[in-house]
């Protein structure tokens, strides 16, 4: 990792704790149909694969539910205007990003959250610290496909052999592998350290500042 000049981060569970706002918007979508509410722990287990999967896992009968598309649309509209009420960066994230920038590292965010949420959240919480922010769109394959990682690398004029991926889930581990780069897994996110180990994590850090031990 000594030649690293680019750090690509996942967003939810890695840079920001967004669980409560996600839970509120999911339950807002479910409420009109009187479906069972989702707890914070349920949402924690359901995130990571994009909002389509989040809603599928939150609804009785999943995508076979006759109201799946309607609930998904309701969730999207509600979350767009409520996505930063309880959300906040994890401790030491901002100072880590500042330190990375001051040392000349290129920084990107690549997330399975929909793009129209990723960009404003990055701008709100991290201002000019993020060089490129990419979320899910209809035109790109979501993680663990490496497509959005490659887009970020192109925009940053970097390559896989000069980059590392930092994330909190098994999806991030697989994404890094598919993109041909190393992965640093974080223990403060939505998945447990034991779960990460079981899913192939080779490096797990307990504080954002530990990133500097590996780049």
Q: Is 10 part of the annotated catalytic residue set?
A: yes
Cis check for the bond before 72: say yes or no (omega within 30 of 0).
no
Q: DSSP string of 101-170? A: HHTT-EEEEEEEEEHHHHHHHHHHHHGGG-SEEEEE-TTSPPTTSSHHHHHHHHHHT--GGGEEEEESSH
| Alpha-carbon distances of 5 from 2, 22, 148, 156, rounded to whole Å | 9, 33, 18, 10
Q: Quick check: 16 and 188 in contact, CB under 8 A? A: no
Residue 180 and residue 146: Cα distance in Å, rounded? 9
Question: Which among 10, 21, 172, 182 is annotated as catalytic?
Answer: 10
If one counts every other C-beta atom within 10 angstroms of the C-beta of residue 192, the result is 10
Residue 168 and residue 193: Cα distance in Å, rounded? 9
Q: Which of 142, 176, 146, 153 is nearest to 107 (CA)?
A: 153
Q: Quick check: 82 and 25 in contact, CB under 8 A? A: yes
End-to-end Cα distance, the chain: 5
Residue 157 and residue 166: Cα distance in Å, rounded? 19
Residues classed as catalytic = 10
């Amino acid at each position: 990792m000594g030649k690293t000049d680019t750090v690509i981060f996942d967003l939810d569970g890695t840079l920001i704790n967004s669980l409560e706002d996600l839970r509120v918007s999911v339950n807002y979508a479910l409420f009109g149909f009187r479906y069972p509410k989702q707890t914070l722990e349920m949402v924690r287990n359901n995130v990571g694969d994009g909002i389509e999967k989040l809603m599928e896992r939150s609804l009785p009968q999943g995508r076979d539910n006759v109201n799946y598309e309607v609930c998904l649309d309701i969730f999207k509209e509600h979350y767009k205007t409520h996505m930063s009420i309880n959300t906040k960066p994890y401790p030491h994230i901002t100072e880590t990003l500042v330190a990375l920038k001051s040392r000349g590292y290129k920084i990107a965010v690549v997330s399975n959250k929909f793009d129209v949420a990723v960009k404003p959240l990055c701008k709100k919480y991290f201002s000019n610290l993020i060089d490129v922010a990419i979320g899910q769109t209809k035109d790109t394959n979501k993680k663990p496909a490496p497509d959005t990682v490659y887009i970020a690398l192109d925009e940053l004029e970097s390559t896989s052999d000069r980059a590392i991926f930092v994330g909190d889930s098994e999806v991030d581990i697989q994404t890094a592998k598919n993109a041909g780069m190393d992965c640093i897994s974080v223990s403060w996110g939505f998945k447990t350290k034991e779960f990460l180990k079981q899913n192939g994590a080779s490096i797990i850090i307990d504080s954002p500042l530990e990133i500097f031990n590996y780049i």
